[in-house]
Amino acid sequence: MKVNLVREVAVLTLLTFLAFFLSTFPFGASTAQEKVTFCAVGDVMLDRGVRAKIEQNGVDYPFGETAEFFKAHDLAFCNLECTISARGTRLSKAFAFRGDTSFVDGLRKSGLNTFCLANNHTLDYGREAFLDTKDVLERNGFHVVGAGKSQKEASKATVVEVNGMTFAFLASVDIPLDGIAYSEGLPGPAQTDIKRIVEEIHRVRKEADFVIVSFHWGAELSPLPSERQKAYAHRVIDEGADLVIGHHTHAIQSIENYKGKFIVYSLGNFVFDSRRPEGKETLIFACLFTDKGIELPSITPVIMRKCRPTLAQGQDSLRILDRVKTLSKRRRVTFRECRGALFLEAAVDTTERR
């Protein structure tokens, strides 16, 4: 009974937060008719310790505490850091991740609907398993970003229309892929070629209201972005991107306001079996897209317990939010705290289209 009561209280708290977040923003919600709510999280891995928890508790287990949050958003993005296939042979590498095909049932109920496959684990069981992963996600109605039958196809933007607005998602992995050779003409995740990314931004900018670029990059467990990360993020914004979202480091990195556009260098893990404290602390980035631009960008602290992300409360919430503030000093970001979330300074006006 006590467990059920705690669960009911947690759900009630979450729904109260969502009602506030979506209908009573404290800093001047947009009155635009066209609105799209968006959120993003980092790495989702469905193998190893996470697999064990799913087998014990069911496919819904990893997202049981966050599904309602995601379902309240029109677009909910994550980096899926594993294959979902029964085929293929494990590559010769230290860490290789594969989720069962049955785990797709859990993803359908998770509230997530946009999956990045541009990372260093979607080829862990070869190219057939990679294509199986892409195919099963698309057959279940998900948007897939950063994957294709060739580098040309993988580097092409995924264009999504929601509520009268058009979004172009681009993604690329910027770290070496162990155990498999790069191939321009074979299936795989988009692998960084900044020239190609820039050309695709220019092409898709003509048809998209917003361009979102996601990078799998950086040094693992590093709290600060490298010079390469900063250079690439600045470059894509200079060329027309509206938002940059990063992952891979298994730890939260800083947030930067660059020319009025936000760069979230790393959201950290989201569903993972990390034993390190920093690997269990993560964030949900959220914002509102309107015809005025990106409004009310915010981050919500999350903590993982037993491979399951839960909205952080109390001292956990304070610790994570303080860490974000500290890491983001001198990044031209001001934070305003409200009901356990940090709202990033000012709306980002992207009405001047390139």
pTM above 0.85, yes or no: yes
Residue 330: what pLDDT? 87
Tell whether 268 is covered by a domain. yes
Tell whether 325 is covered by a domain. yes
Range of 165's domain? Answer: 2-349
What gap in Å lies between CA 322 and CA 337, rounded to an integer? Answer: 11
Q: Write the pLDDT tens digit of every residue in 296-345.
A: 999 999 999 999 999 999 999 999 999 999 999 989 999 999 988 999 97
Tell whether 51 is covered by a domain. yes
C-alpha distance from residue 13 to each of 10, 36, 297, 309, 318 (Å): 5, 23, 21, 15, 17
- CATH number of the CATH domain containing 246: 3.60.21.10
What residues of the chain score a pLDDT lower than 50? 1-32, 347-354
Residue 339: what pLDDT? 85
Residue 348: what pLDDT? 43
Tell whether 82 is covered by a domain. yes
Q: Tokens representing 226? A: 């490298």
Tell whether 200 is covered by a domain. yes
Largest CA distance in the chain: 58
Tell whether 223 is covered by a domain. yes
Residue 33: what pLDDT? 59
Q: Given the structure tokens 């040309």, which residue do they identify? A: 152
What total number of domains does the chain contain? 1
Residue 4: what pLDDT? 43
Interstrand relation of 281-290 and 35-44 (parallel, antiparallel or unpaired):
antiparallel
Provide the residue type at 37 as one letter: T
What gap in Å lies between CA 62 and CA 261, rounded to an integer? Answer: 31
Tell whether 88 is covered by a domain. yes
Q: Given the structure tokens 């994957």, which residue do they identify? A: 147
Tell whether 354 is covered by a domain. no
Q: Tokens representing 227? A: 């010079």
